[in-house]
Amino acid sequence: MKTVKSSNLGYPRIGENREWKKTLESFWASTINEETFSTRMKKYRLHHLQKQKNKGIDYIPIGDFSYYDHVLDTASMFGLVPKRFAHTSGPVSLSTYFAMARGNQAAHACEMTKWFDTNYHYIVPEIENKEPELVENKPLHAFLEAKKELNIIGKPVILGPFTFLKLAKGYKKEEFANILNSFVPVYTQLLSELADAGAKLVQVDEPYLVMDITKEEMEIFSNLYREIVTNVPNVNIILQTYFESVSHYEQLVQIPVKGIGLDFVYGYKENIDAIERFGFPEDKVLGVGIIDGRNIWRSNLLESHQIINKLSNHVPFKNQILQPTSSLLHVPVCLEQETGLDPIVKDALAFGDEKLDELRLLRDVTNDPTQSSLELLNRHQQSFEKLNESNWRVRKETAGLPTKRTKEFQERYQLQNQKWNLPLLPTTTIGSFPQTKEVRKARFKWRKGELSNDTYEANIKSMIARWIRIQEELDIDVLVHGEFERNDMVEFFGEKLNGFAFSKNGWVQSYGSRCVKPPIIFGNVSLDKPMTLNETLYAQSLTDRPVKGMLTGPVTILNWSFVRNDIPHQEAAYQIAEALLKEVQSLEHAGITMIQVDEPALREGLPLKKEKHNTYLNWAVEAFRMSTSDVAETTQIHTHMCYSDFNEIIEAIKELDADVISIETSRSHAEIISAFETNIYDKGIGLGVYDIHSPRVPSEEEMTSTIERALSVLPAELFWVNPDCGLKTRGEKETVAALEVMVKAAKSARNQLTKQVTQ
């Protein structure tokens, strides 16, 4: 009898019916008090643990539950609160915690950016020369709660110091080693208190080890953990990595910790090659990341079983812990409510709970490969293979569409300026306006059949007309229709394209309480009829000002969908691009010749290893250009991107050849502007002048200062003024107030530039 164990790395926070999200938003809206908020959150937290216990998971993660974000939890646990929030000492209050995440009228929020190459956003810590101290041992509280309430000896989950500091800001590169060393005492204290409470195994997440770190950085990492283990020798630490293969395997396995967790799905080849080349220490356990924690398709358990057996040539079964490749934070909670999916598609899926079932089945078959357990494995495999045996086969071909405009940008832009005759520093928005309760209620009733198509369309038109009028009253130069008919910027398009399926409750957390429901790409993508034409044409009929057509780009639709594991992403992107080009041309032929094709997820799809960057960027850029190049030169193509590290992908962004790009940068404006001090960008550009993720309305002076700073490195004749993202999640009152300030700031900067020219 083998003794392989199972472990989970993290569980989705949001709940089966997004009750976590609803509680958060109720608290923010002051409809429940802090006591009620804490009581409800505890209930959800314990429910998640009980579910994992019922599924027979051997090592159940605790401390992975968060009120907002696990990186923010780590910062607040160590008292690393930026000075602007006026926190003095001791545990960080809930109001300060949420102010760091969302901002308030006194202080702007901390920066938010993508968690590695996922669609999850974390709050960026700010060091500010502050010494970390353990002001609240949150993992200890979670451990004691699970032990007392459910008799669970959980596995505390902690974000490791190396990754935490690498993801932080507010220090110089040469200060890294010294600052990292200052975390040794607080991690020593944290781990000591967990050991004293009876924690048998502690998961310390260090995913930054899969990045291209240097040998010197790996040495710093090794010395760090040798010191921590020396200080706390009675703690069994498993260093957990995910999303890719580790960069310095040979050095990593020499660190005197209890175990190492590796990804054998996304980093399979490199990780298993390293084990076969260098072996694996006999005194360590191996966390075998074998169930895909990022995608919703069933695992090929026969293949997984073979990998486990292959690993047993180097790592005894008793030293293997089977687990997902990453936290299940990135997948929906459970399939139970998905009654509307095609049975063949549904049978090929595994959400969070089903992944834990897969994990248990794989563990049981490995430990006791009886006839009955092998039959269960085969039945699982048959369901997995039904989709492949169906008629939904993906063609292996590219679209062969034009990928280059016939004229260069400068000539196009001159023609476009003559056509539109816009003022200097033209103002616009990114696309969406507030999705109020009334908007969502009408859509919900329409979907349930309680509202007729005619009534629903009339409702949408009334909202479009209202916001066209508001934009004109605000004196915005280039308008949008507001996207009131759209539930989500990817789901909306997926519902109108062939090859997509949709879950009823397949929500995942994107940032804070913001959840998204990614489409499911199961087959060939194509377009039968226009998707956005009616609403855009109606909006344009109400105004003499240009109204932008609003589309989501091929790479973002791809990256923000759950794509079948056997569909090459490049080929799927080309199919989406071909479909979108039809939509672009439909808009153009109808007279909509300012069209925005958003690619906010271009950067997040960038592989974590630099050696893989060019391959991805080449086909990603080509897919965008496929969808936008076969148009007239006077048709102005806009795009929008999020959290882009321009120093990394500036050349690829130039190669998109969009006439105007807007960038979500308000939380890290200084950093993005500094990128243009060393990189010349010679196309139309708008840097977001205020943060839409915060309810705070900035002052005119703040926005004017932001515009002036940008114009210090960007030419005024190419600069646009816009919010940093869509306004879907904001309230109407704050939206109008912020846009009013934005237009005033743009006019002030415009007048100042005009004076300089005439002097």
CA–CA gap between residue 576 and residue 589 (Å, rounded): 20
Spatial strand order of the sheet with 562-563 comes to: 497-501, 520-527, 562-563
User: What one-letter code names the amino acid at 515?
Assistant: C
Long-range contacts made by residues 368-376, C-beta under 8 angstroms, separation at least 24? 368/1, 368/2
Residue 648, pLDDT > 90, answer: no
Is residue 183 helix, strand or coil?
A: coil
Consult the annotation and say whether 111 binds a ligand: no
What pLDDT score does 368 carry?
87
Consult the annotation and say whether 514 binds a ligand: yes
Q: Which helix (H) or strand (E) holds 462?
A: helix 453-474
Of 116-130, 202-216, 631-645, give the range with the top mean pLDDT: 202-216
Check whether residue 424 and residue 370 sit in a common domain.
no
Residue 722 lies inside a defined structural domain of this protein = yes
Let me know: does 267 contact 608? Beta carbons within 8 Å: no
What pLDDT score does 437 carry?
83
What pLDDT score does 727 carry?
82
Give the model's confidence band at 443: pLDDT under 50 very low, under 70 low, under 90 confident, else very high.
confident
Write the pLDDT tens digit of every residue in 91-112: 999 999 999 999 988 888 999 8
For the question of residue 693 being annotated catalytic, the response is yes
CA–CA gap between residue 469 and residue 289 (Å, rounded): 54
CA–CA gap between residue 142 and residue 146 (Å, rounded): 6
In a 10 Å sphere around its CB, with 0-12 CB exposed, 13-18 middle and 19+ buried, how is residue 38 labelled?
middle
Report CA-CA distances (Å) from 256 to 118, 190, 221, 225, 278: 30, 18, 12, 8, 16
Give the model's confidence band at 439: pLDDT under 50 very low, under 70 low, under 90 confident, else very high.
confident
In a 10 Å sphere around its CB, with 0-12 CB exposed, 13-18 middle and 19+ buried, how is residue 617 labelled?
buried
Give the tokens for residue 5: 């164990």
Check whether residue 456 and residue 337 sit in a common domain.
no
Q: What is the mean pLDDT of residues 618-638?
A: 96
Consult the annotation and say whether 708 binds a ligand: no
Residue 510 lies inside a defined structural domain of this protein = no
Consult the annotation and say whether 431 binds a ligand: yes
What is the number of structural domains in the chain? 2
Check whether residue 472 and residue 335 sit in a common domain.
no
What pLDDT score does 697 carry?
86
Distance, first Cα to last Cα, the chain: 88
What pLDDT score does 643 carry?
58
Consult the annotation and say whether 604 binds a ligand: yes
Check whether residue 546 and residue 655 sit in a common domain.
yes
Residue 404 lies inside a defined structural domain of this protein = no
Average pLDDT, the chain: 92
Alpha-carbon 257 to chain mean position: 31
Q: How many CA atoms lie within 13 A of 518 on its CB side?
A: 25
Check whether residue 318 and residue 453 sit in a common domain.
no
Check whether residue 421 and residue 294 sit in a common domain.
no
Tokens 């949150």 sit on residue:
138
What pLDDT score does 425 carry?
95
What pLDDT score does 745 carry?
93
Check whether residue 468 and residue 434 sit in a common domain.
yes
Write the pLDDT tens digit of every residue in 267-308: 999 999 999 999 999 999 999 999 999 999 999 998 999 999
Residue 503 lies inside a defined structural domain of this protein = no
Q: Which among 389, 419, 452 is the end of a domain?
A: 389
CA–CA gap between residue 167 and residue 175 (Å, rounded): 14
Q: Which among 333, 356, 389 is the end of a domain?
A: 389
Q: What is the mean pLDDT of residues 409-415?
A: 94
Range in 335-339, 630-634, 688-692 with the lowest mean pLDDT: 688-692
Residue numbers of the domain that contains 183: 5-389
What pLDDT score does 1 carry?
56
Residue 709 lies inside a defined structural domain of this protein = yes
What pLDDT score does 388 carry?
72
Q: Any idea what DSSP says for residue 7?
A: B
Consult the annotation and say whether 21 binds a ligand: yes
Residue 399 lies inside a defined structural domain of this protein = no
Long-range contacts made by residues 460-465, C-beta under 8 angstroms, separation at least 24? 460/484, 460/485, 460/535, 461/538, 463/439, 464/535, 464/538, 464/539, 464/542, 465/542
Residues 6+ apart with CB under 8 A from 255: 221, 222, 225, 226, 229, 239
Check whether residue 375 and residue 452 sit in a common domain.
no
Give the tokens for residue 405: 């405009």
Range in 114-118, 173-177, 437-441 with the lowest mean pLDDT: 437-441
Residue 758, pLDDT > 70, answer: no
Write the pLDDT tens digit of every residue in 357-405: 999 999 999 998 887 777 888 888 887 677 777 655 555 555 577 889 9
474: left (phi over 0), alpha (psi -120 to 50) or beta: alpha
Other CB atoms within a 10 A radius of the CB of residue 733 amount to 11
Let me know: does 143 contact 63? Beta carbons within 8 Å: yes
Residue 111 lies inside a defined structural domain of this protein = yes
Considering 48, 305, 380, 693, which one is annotated as catalytic? 693
Q: What is the mean pLDDT of residues 80-87?
A: 94
Consult the annotation and say whether 432 binds a ligand: yes
Range in 137-141, 327-331, 483-487, 620-624 with the lowest mean pLDDT: 483-487
Report CA-CA distances (Å) from 185 to 157, 221, 227: 18, 15, 10
**Higher local confidence (pLDDT), 232 or 435:** 232
Residues 6+ apart with CB under 8 A from 234: 195
Return phi, psi of residue 286, to 5°.
Answer: -110, 120
Residue 666, pLDDT > 70, answer: no
Let me know: does 208 contact 163? Beta carbons within 8 Å: yes
Helix (H) and strand (E) counts for the chain? 27, 21
User: What one-letter code names the amino acid at 236?
Assistant: N
Q: What is the mean pLDDT of residues 43-64?
A: 97
Check whether residue 46 and residue 166 sit in a common domain.
yes
Give the model's confidence band at 185: pLDDT under 50 very low, under 70 low, under 90 confident, else very high.
very high
Give the tokens for residue 192: 């000591």
Other CB atoms within a 10 A radius of the CB of residue 755 amount to 9
Let me know: does 289 contact 320? Beta carbons within 8 Å: no
Check whether residue 89 and residue 126 sit in a common domain.
yes
What pLDDT score does 395 carry?
57
Give the model's confidence band at 523: pLDDT under 50 very low, under 70 low, under 90 confident, else very high.
confident
Q: What is the CATH number of the domain that holds 60?
A: 3.20.20.210
Consult the annotation and say whether 334 binds a ligand: no
Residue 116 lies inside a defined structural domain of this protein = yes
What pLDDT score does 644 carry?
54
Consult the annotation and say whether 650 binds a ligand: no
Check whether residue 69 and residue 135 sit in a common domain.
yes
The DSSP result for 635-665, as a single string, is SEEEEEEES--HHHHHHHHHHH--SEEEEE-
Check whether residue 245 and residue 285 sit in a common domain.
yes
